């Protein structure tokens, strides 16, 4: 069961400048940064608030580290802006399978590693009214068998 908006992913050309904009304009501070080589991005998670299910909601700022990454290709085609929305779930495997059973294409056969040790998968934007949608199980709430 999807429990919250985990984050909204925003693609940018210059992570440091974009972080500075969100810090000075809205007062959002960086909660976490990392480079995800598999996804080909350098990212910053800006924490917006805590949620009732023990998780949090974030803005995820994404700068490609290589042009052939999904975010790099997306930026070249669309420019900076909202890249995806992510919903939090206690069980990304079960929810992805349930959604797949409803005819929505799930982009990964098995969830992959996401930000802060999370497990993630994506849903095809053409099946989600044009919105690239991510499902996220945070490391903090991930079940021990994963």
- State if pTM tops 0.95: no
pLDDT at 68: 96
Of the residues 7, 39, 63, 83, only one is catalytic, namely: 7
Q: For each successive 10 residues of the chain (146 residues), what is the average pLDDT?
A: 94 98 96 95 95 87 97 97 96 97 97 94 97 92 42
CA dist 90 to 95, 107, 137, 143, Å? Answer: 9, 19, 6, 8
- Is 124 a residue of the active site? no
- Is 84 a residue of the active site? yes
* Cα–Cα dist 89/73, whole Å: 28
Q: Which of 77, 93, 91 is nearest to 125 (CA)?
A: 77
């Amino acid at each position: 069961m999807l429990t919250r908006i985990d984050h909204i992913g925003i693609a940018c050309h210059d992570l440091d400048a974009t972080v500075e904009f969100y810090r000075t304009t809205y007062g959002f501070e960086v909660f976490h940064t990392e480079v995800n080589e598999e996804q080909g991005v350098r990212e910053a998670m800006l924490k917006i608030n805590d949620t009732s299910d023990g998780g949090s909601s974030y803005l995820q700022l994404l700068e490609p580290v290589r042009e052939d990454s999904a975010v790099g290709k997306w930026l070249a085609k669309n420019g900076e802006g909202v890249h995806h929305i992510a919903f939090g779930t206690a069980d990304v495997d079960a929810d992805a399978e349930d959604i797949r059973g409803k005819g929505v294409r799930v982009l990964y056969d098995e969830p992959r590693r996401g930000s802060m040790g999370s497990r993630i998968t994506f849903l095809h934007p053409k099946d989600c009214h044009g919105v690239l949608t991510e499902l996220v199980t945070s490391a903090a709430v991930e079940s021990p068998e994963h």
